[in-house]
């Protein structure tokens, strides 16, 4: 029942009253807390952070690939009893979506990452999760996550998890992946 202003990304994100505007900024702060300067796409963190990025209910949109480079980070929505059994899993009240660009949504590039309690929605002809630049990501966990392919314009190139994508580009090009 509260509204929290996040009109820009100058807040520190340490409480709902000091919320960040974008998930991308939260990922930058998580990487910095683990000693990784990534503002311009720097090196991957080698130490674990214990940062948790909590997305409040609603739709959170990204306009560029979200590179998760801080080892040990958790990105979660609030638990809401997502029904994972049965033929059609229920959607979470917290949606992380790619909009407005031709990009994949998430790129896990460090180990010990947890994604939880979210509905992930790709943009048409791209993937929800790609594994770019770091083929040795270990201990990646997805808990109570739904990949929403229903609310995306139909395309045979749209996919959930792309386990083979390893190029250094954030966009799909001809023959850049082999399995989904």
Please, which pLDDT band fits residue 102 given cuts at 50, 70 and 90? confident
110: pLDDT strictly greater than 70: yes
Q: For residue range 40-67, what is the model confidence (pLDDT) as tens digits?
A: 444 444 456 678 999 988 899 998 999 9
What's the alpha-carbon Rg for the chain, to the nearest Å?
A: 16
174: pLDDT strictly greater than 50: no
Q: What is the mean pLDDT of residues 17-26?
A: 86
Q: What is the mean pLDDT of residues 151-167?
A: 72
Residue 84, pLDDT score? 55
Q: For residues 10 and 25, what is the distance between their CA atoms, to the nearest angstrom?
A: 9
53 vs 162, higher pLDDT = 53
161 vs 73, higher pLDDT = 73
46 vs 126, higher pLDDT = 126
């Amino acid at each position: 029942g509260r509204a929290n202003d996040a009109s820009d990304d100058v807040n520190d994100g340490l409480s709902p009253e000091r919320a960040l505007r974008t998930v991308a900024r939260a990922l930058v702060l998580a990487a910095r807390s683990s000693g990784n300067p990534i503002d311009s796409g720097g090196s991957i963190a080698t130490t674990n952070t214990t940062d948790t990025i909590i997305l409040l209910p609603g739709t959170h949109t990204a306009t560029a690939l979200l590179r998760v480079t801080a080892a040990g980070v958790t990105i979660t929505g609030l638990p809401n009893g997502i029904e994972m059994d049965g033929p059609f899993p229920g959607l979470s009240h917290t949606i992380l979506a790619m909009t407005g660009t031709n990009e994949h949504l998430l790129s896990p590039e460090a180990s010990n990452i947890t994604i939880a309690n979210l509905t992930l929605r790709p943009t048409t002809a791209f993937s929800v999760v790609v594994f770019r630049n770091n083929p040795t990501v270990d201990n990646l966990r997805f808990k109570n996550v739904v990949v929403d392919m229903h609310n995306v314009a139909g395309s045979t190139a749209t996919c959930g998890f792309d386990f083979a994508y390893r190029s250094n580009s954030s966009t799909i090009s001809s023959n850049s992946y082999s399995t989904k």
